[in-house]
């Protein structure tokens, strides 16, 4: 079921400053910011060859990552994203295994234009897990 690591997401208080830091300090290729109002975030991706780093900045007062940044004002790791071939089959298997799917349990379209789901961090050792169908 579990495919490759698609990305590691870092919540940041200032996506422009974080992008500049990755670009100038590490020589990284950074995409242009993309606003995702349906997810309450602005994102950029950094290609690191075998996977990506996703930088997340809150978009709007009701952003789901705002509380994370209130607890971690400098930012930090927010979630990991794994690829799956069939997100519905993965969801059904996980639910049958006792894992909690966040939200209404139905996939939403993520930053890559593909269906995604999030799994409760308490079911994965304190780590928020995103699944993305490839």
Q: By residue range, what is the domain housing residue 6?
A: 2-133
CATH number, position 125: 3.10.180.10
How much is the pLDDT for 115?
98
Number of domains in the chain: 1
Which pTM was predicted? 0.94
Determine what percent of the chain is predicted with pLDDT higher than 90.
95
Positions of the chain with pLDDT under 70: none
The residue among 61, 50, 27, 43 whose CA lies nearest residue 110 is 43
SS3 call for 131: strand
The catalytic position among 54, 57, 130, 132 is 130
Active site residue 130: yes
Q: Are 4 and 82 in contact (CB under 8 A)?
A: yes
Number of H helices, E strands in the chain: 3, 8
């Amino acid at each position: 079921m579990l495919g490759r690591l698609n990305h590691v997401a870092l919540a940041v208080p200032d996506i422009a400053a974080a992008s500049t830091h990755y670009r100038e300090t590490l020589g990284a290729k950074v995409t242009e910011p993309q606003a995702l109002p349906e997810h309450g975030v602005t994102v950029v991706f950094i290609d690191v060859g075998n996977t990506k780093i996703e930088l997340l900045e809150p978009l709007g007062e009701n952003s789901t990552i705002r509380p994370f940044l209130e607890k971690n004002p400098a930012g930090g790791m927010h979630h990991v994203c794994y690829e799956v071939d069939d997100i519905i089959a993965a969801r059904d298997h996980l639910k049958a295994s006792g894992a909690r799917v966040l939200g209404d349990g139905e996939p939403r379209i993520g930053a890559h234009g593909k269906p995604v789901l999030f799994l409760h961090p308490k079911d994965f050792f304190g780590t928020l897990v995103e699944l993305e169908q490839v």
